[in-house]
Amino acid sequence: MPTEQVNAPAAAIDRVAQLRKEITRHAYLYYVNDSPEIPDYEYDALFSELKSLEDTYPDLIVPSSPTQTVGSAILSSFEPVVHASPMMSLGNVFSEDELREWMHRISRLDDEAAASSLVVEPKIDGVAISLVYQDGVLAQAATRGDGVTGEDVTANIRTISVIPWDISDSSRKHRVPSYLDVRGEIYMPVDSFKQLNKVQIEKGLKTYANPRNFAAGSLRQKDPKITATRPLLFWAYQIGSASNEVANSQTEALQYMRDCGFPVNPEIRSVKNIQEAVDRCLELQEHRHDLPYEIDGAVIKIDSFDLQNRLGSTSHAPRWAIAYKFPPEEKITRLLAIEVSIGRTGRATPYAVLEPVTVGGSIVSMATLHNEDQVKLKDVRPSDMVIVRKAGDVIPEIVGHISESRTSDSKPWEFPDRCPSCGGPLVRLEGESDTYCITMDCPAQKIQRIAHYASRVAMDIEGLGEKRVDWLVSGGLVHDLGDLYSLDRDRLVAMSGLGDLSVDNLFHALDESRQRPLYRLLVGLGIRHLGPAGARAIAGEFGHLDAVMDAELDELSEIEGVGAVIAQSIQRFFAAEANQRVIDNLRKVGINFGETAVSSASHYHVADSLSGGSGHYVAEAGSKAGGVAEAGGGSDTGIAQTLAGKSIVVTGAIEGFTREEVEGLIRERGGKAAGSVSKKTWVVVVGRDPGVTKLRKADELGIPQVDASLFREILETGELIEP
């Protein structure tokens, strides 16, 4: 609170201080938390009381007073702010050698550098910000601008809930200086960004290029209410200046900011020498995509402020810090063609065929273009040079094209009107963004449908992956699901060139699948919107496929976890004649339509002779699940605690889930979503583009690894299928 000499009576000084605290708290609850504790008129009354006290005693006015700062008026422009000390940039290095050279260079300037401790911090790919606190209250927030002058974005920054408004109380350990400039980075978590783009795609709107641009755009909103809806976060990493010394080293400064209530990145490490710094940089590089935010490098800082001061700065960057930049994850390559793939529901998805290019450590030769509107919005055309982006577990995507690369005769790409697989019509219904092949017996759909039926989430037929299904369908051996069970062994051997053992294994796996419980069959049928959880609930309720087929709409939609959309989809599915034929055929070949598998054992059962009677164990995960779910059903959320006490590491992308969702799903079930593999890890779920270190560690420790298709299964059953 103000320390200046004022002419106001003590009572007024006290009341003003009290009002400011209260108003700040209520404004925070209102603007940031969106959960006011008092009605607007009470807030207004406090505000006008403060205002009139300040009018009476103008000496009491300080820049940090709510009357001077709070308010969410729509801004017409962002006022320029001259930073008290310039917001410098950093020198860059691009390799281990260059990083060591930096250390040599500064050691020549000051020989203490070579022996000094360092701090290695993730280099957050966000927007730099300076937060000025006066008497512990956030008074002004400014962007970096040109380093000397930035823009005042205080009103927008106030909407970011992790940024404290008042640090005068939060830091009991320290006295807060009357002036404190905390610097750091505003960023948007990767998952929120993916979700945002998913919604954009669903709405047929253009996707955003990257989280950084989106965060920057969010800070430049004229209406803070819009910024308030954006999921922005903040990491503090530097003290720009302070009216009295708060730390003697970067380590102390970080601790100080932590104590004041600022988020400080837990990945920051103090290291003893440049070798350890190099090791940490490489570690961060390898794990960059395990972090829920984007980093584009590491920042290495000399720890001691004394030494920092002695080393000083050049005109634009400090000598005592350096940025180690990771290799870029955006590359330019040629778009060779745009093709369309047909999924099992007939959805026609355009994708880019690219001249193969290494992006972010893996070779990319294809990238989804989602749907017709996205191709139009991105305006990419065959033979364009395009920017391909791959941010870790994000599926490679096309950011846009390089306009200079385009020849004058280039024409916009047209969505084909015929299915590339069956030649039938491709139809896009009005108001929908997706296009479908509507031919029932389209081979591409057939292949996808059968492969889905055989997949691990469904009937789990080992050895029957997409390639083999493609071969069976294209060779005319299989037309629908039932045909799988009447394959002619000799013909298969003769045509496939498969060895006796492989064919035996396939037949055995097929045979086994006849006994799968109903929920797996329901999943295997590929009814739109129906996943394993809903299938399980329905199977539990009806107990037999015939009962499900006869069920009324209400009976289905009343089941918990089912609802109207799934219920309608189920009815529509069974009403289609073609589907009824598929089901009749499955009945004829003896597929179990009942809830419990014929081998109802809630234990592993030994497969018989075909695998040589050598004890090939197959877990009936499905039948076990019921028991587990019941046993663990006592949680507050009502979600079965299938993973109670289990530590699961997920590495790489799991289709259909964001990382946050994956972790949430594990936690909801009582499990721990661990970030690294240890002896305590129960299982490692390996998604797309997994972390090499995690896999290596799992190998070393003998931790079971399963592929991502088993993820849902594990969640539901809390069991591992033995390989």
Active site (catalytic) residues = 123
CB of 400 to ligand IVH, least distance (A): 24
23, 113, 264, 323: which one binds ligand IVH (CB under 6 A): 323
Is residue 299 near ligand IVH by the rule CB under 6 A? Answer: yes
Distances from the Cα of 123 to the Cα of 186, 325, 625, angstroms:
12, 8, 44
When the beta carbons of 93 and 437 are compared against ligand IVH, the nearer one is 93
User: What is the C-alpha to C-alpha distance for residues 646 and 124, in angstroms, rounded to an integer?
Assistant: 32
20, 26, 83, 123: which one binds ligand IVH (CB under 6 A): 123
Is residue 185 near ligand IVH by the rule CB under 6 A? Answer: yes
Is residue 318 near ligand IVH by the rule CB under 6 A? Answer: yes
CB of 168 to ligand IVH, least distance (A): 26
When the beta carbons of 89 and 600 are compared against ligand IVH, the nearer one is 89
The answer to whether the CB of 534 falls within 8 A of the CB of 573 is no
User: What is the C-alpha to C-alpha distance for residues 401 and 492, in angstroms, rounded to an integer?
Assistant: 47
- Chain centre to alpha carbon of residue 232: 14
Is residue 182 near ligand IVH by the rule CB under 6 A? Answer: no
Binding mask 255-294 for ligand IVH (x = CB under 6 A): ----------------------------------------
Is residue 124 near ligand IVH by the rule CB under 6 A? Answer: yes
CB of 307 to ligand IVH, least distance (A): 15
When the beta carbons of 121 and 303 are compared against ligand IVH, the nearer one is 121
Per DSSP bridges, beta strands 179-187 and 127-134 are antiparallel
User: What is the C-alpha to C-alpha distance for residues 722 and 710, in angstroms, rounded to an integer?
Assistant: 12
The answer to whether the CB of 669 falls within 8 A of the CB of 715 is yes
Is residue 480 near ligand IVH by the rule CB under 6 A? Answer: no
70, 302, 321, 538: which one binds ligand IVH (CB under 6 A): 321
When the beta carbons of 185 and 595 are compared against ligand IVH, the nearer one is 185
Type of residue at 553: L
When the beta carbons of 235 and 413 are compared against ligand IVH, the nearer one is 235
When the beta carbons of 126 and 670 are compared against ligand IVH, the nearer one is 126
Is residue 237 near ligand IVH by the rule CB under 6 A? Answer: yes
Checking 674-680 for CB contacts under 8 A at 24+ apart, the result is 674/647, 674/648, 674/649, 675/290, 675/649, 676/649, 677/649, 677/701, 677/703, 678/647, 680/647
Q: In sequence order, what DSSP letters do the residues of 76-95 get, joined into one string?
A: SSPPEEE-SS------EE-S
Binding-site size, ligand IVH (CB under 6 A)? 15
Is residue 128 near ligand IVH by the rule CB under 6 A? Answer: yes
The answer for residues whose C-beta is within 8 angstroms of residue 641's C-beta and 6 or more apart is: 632, 633, 634, 635, 669, 670
Is residue 303 near ligand IVH by the rule CB under 6 A? Answer: no
Is residue 157 near ligand IVH by the rule CB under 6 A? Answer: no
User: What is the C-alpha to C-alpha distance for residues 353 and 333, in angstroms, rounded to an integer?
Assistant: 10
The answer to whether the CB of 570 falls within 8 A of the CB of 539 is no
From 84-92, 406-414, 540-548, 598-606, span contacting ligand IVH (CB under 6 A): 84-92
From 123-131, 343-351, 369-377, 665-673, span contacting ligand IVH (CB under 6 A): 123-131
Is residue 249 near ligand IVH by the rule CB under 6 A? Answer: no
154, 156, 238, 439: which one binds ligand IVH (CB under 6 A): 238
Q: In sequence order, what DSSP letters do the residues of 154-199 get, joined into one string?
A: HHHHTT-TTS-SB-TTT-SSSPPPSEEEEEEEEE--HHHHHHHHHH
When the beta carbons of 60 and 90 are compared against ligand IVH, the nearer one is 90
CB of 458 to ligand IVH, least distance (A): 45
Q: In sequence order, what DSSP letters do the residues of 220-276 get, joined into one string?
A: T-SSHHHHHTS--EEEEEEEEEESS---SBHHHHHHHHHHHT----TT-EEESSHHH
- ∠ CA 710-714-716, nearest 5°, is 120
Is residue 89 near ligand IVH by the rule CB under 6 A? Answer: yes
From 243-251, 317-325, 356-364, 414-422, span contacting ligand IVH (CB under 6 A): 317-325
How is residue 20 written in tokens?
């400011």
Task: Look at residues 670, 649, 680, 665 and name the one whose alpha carbon lies nearest to residue 713.
Answer: 665
The answer for residues whose C-beta is within 8 angstroms of residue 328's C-beta and 6 or more apart is: none
CB of 129 to ligand IVH, least distance (A): 8
Is residue 133 near ligand IVH by the rule CB under 6 A? Answer: no
User: What is the C-alpha to C-alpha distance for residues 449 and 464, in angstroms, rounded to an integer?
Assistant: 12
CB of 289 to ligand IVH, least distance (A): 17
User: What is the C-alpha to C-alpha distance for residues 343 and 437, in angstroms, rounded to an integer?
Assistant: 9
The answer to whether the CB of 345 falls within 8 A of the CB of 407 is no
Closest residue (Cβ) to ligand IVH? 128
121, 303, 460, 512: which one binds ligand IVH (CB under 6 A): 121
Residues that bind ligand IVH in the complex, under the rule CB under 6 A: 88-90, 121, 123-124, 128, 144, 185, 237-238, 299, 318, 321, 323
